[in-house]
A and B are shown apart, each in its own frame.
Chain A
Amino acid sequence: EAGVAQSPRYKIIEKRQSVAFWCNPISGHATLYWYQQILGQGPKLLIQFQNNGVVDDSQLPKDRFSAERLKGVDSTLKIQPAKLEDSAVYLCASSHLREIKVFFGQGTRLTVV
């Protein structure tokens, strides 16, 4: 099966600029996740969608981060305005409803300068 697709692969922006990442999950996967992975750390969940509804966004910095999943398929994650500490790899993942196995995308590496 085709994997989770993410774009862009790399992005460099200046602080205070805005940026958006896109994710296309595996076909039929109802659950979609965005994780943030800072260098040297494990991934940290930012937000979880089930279809087009938010299940958990408790760790999403809502003053600058936003995410949506229109029509319960693709998702976008936006940062506005970006800070230096937002430099990280942003991973999108998806799974079937109540399925244990989670599939990860290749990630978008964001550098904020």
Chain B
Amino acid sequence: AQRVTQPEKLLSVFKGAPVELKCNYSYSGSPELFWYVQYSRQRLQLLLRHISRESIKGFTADLNKGETSFHLKKPFAQEEDSAMYYCALSGLGNTGKLIFGQGTTLQVKP
């Protein structure tokens, strides 16, 4: 079964603390993995994707095929990082057909 699991509904950290949002997936084949973010009163938007291996707003995510994980990390959280984060996957060649996890709310306290 194709599935994305985000085990934490809420992650609360203090400003400056490290952040790790967990994501595990189940997929038969070679998936593409993404992190999407939704800030308060804004649209869902792409944060980063595993293929590009980029760092966006200080966030990075590494695909671990052995553990079928794609955790999102940031060494020092900022208050503006507070948002809902969704991990998602798609099959190669159809990256708009996304399977989303349940989402994790990140709350960064001052």
Chain A residues in the interface with B (C-beta under 8 A): 3-4, 31, 33, 35, 40-45, 48, 55-56, 91, 93, 95, 98-107
Contacts and interface: CB of A to CB of B under 8 A. Distances in A.
B96 interface: yes
B101 to A, nearest CB: 5
Interface of B: 4, 32, 43-46, 49, 51, 86, 88, 93-103
A100 B43 contact: no
Given A3-B43, A100-B49, A105-B43, A42 B101 contact: yes
Contacts of A105: 43
A98 B30 CA distance: 17
B28 to A, nearest CB: 16
A40 B6 CA distance: 12
Nearest to B51: A100
Given A4-B43, A33-B97, A40-B102, 14 more contacts: A31-B96, A33-B96, A41-B102, A42-B88, A42-B100, A43-B44, A43-B100, A45-B97, A45-B98, A48-B96, A95-B95, A100-B49, A103-B45, A105-B43
A17 B97 CA distance: 29
A44 B51 CA distance: 23
B73 to A, nearest CB: 20
Contact of B86 (A3, A42, A56, A99): A42
Contacts of A103: 43, 45
B83 to A, nearest CB: 14
Contact of B95 (A40, A41, A100): A100
B46 to A, nearest CB: 6
A41 B86 CA distance: 10
Contacts of A102: 46, 95-96, 98
A31 B43 CA distance: 18
Contacts of B86: 42-43
A100 B89 CA distance: 12
B96 A42 contact: no
A48 B98 contact: no
A43 B100 CA distance: 6
